Amino acid sequence: MPPEEGPGGAALHWRALEALYASAPVNRLFNSHLTIIGEGRSRIDFIVEERHHHAAGAAHGTIYFKMLDDAAFYAANTLISDRFLLTTSFNLHFTRPVKSGKITAEGRWVSGRRRVLVAEANLIDEEGEEIGRGTGTFMRSHIPLSSLPGYRP
């Protein structure tokens, strides 16, 4: 469901998660934008540039991991409004190399709501082809979301 139609304070939580993503210092290194598109769903739009390449001229795997992990993480954190989640494991599959252009990471919550959550994500290139996929396990930390300066409900 669209964020503005989210139940109760869900829309505020989702906007605060988007602000948290934008505030992370690591994201200053990338041309990316997070959108929470519903409960258990997120999307990150990202531009792959030459500066992201490995020596053979395609996007380095760190780019795949970052975007997949972030999309899955934020999809899971839509369900948890009090605590910051931590990635405890992430399984990544590279499907195709990419050299440049707009990439979309689509994250989806799969299972779990209490202590451990599982979410997955796919990377889609400009032609609509999958270039990577991953599944992560996330757990509640002891860090209250409300204590993070970037989280602004």
- What would the pLDDT profile of 71-124 be if each residue is shown by its tens digit? 999 999 999 999 999 999 999 999 999 999 999 999 999 999 988 999 999 999
Looking at the domain assignment, is residue 153 inside a domain? no
Note whether residue 122 is domain-resident. Answer: yes
In-domain check, residue 136: yes
Q: Is residue 121 part of a domain?
A: yes
Q: Among candidates 17, 22, 53, which has minimal Cα distance to 38?
A: 17
Q: Is the pTM higher than 0.85?
A: yes
Q: Which domain holds residue 102?
A: 3-147
pLDDT digits (tens, 9 = 90+) for 27-39: 999 999 999 999 9
Q: Note whether residue 47 is domain-resident.
A: yes
Domain presence at residue 152: no
The domain that contains 51 carries what CATH number? 3.10.129.10
Task: Classify residue 84: in a domain, yes or no.
Answer: yes
Domain count, the chain: 1
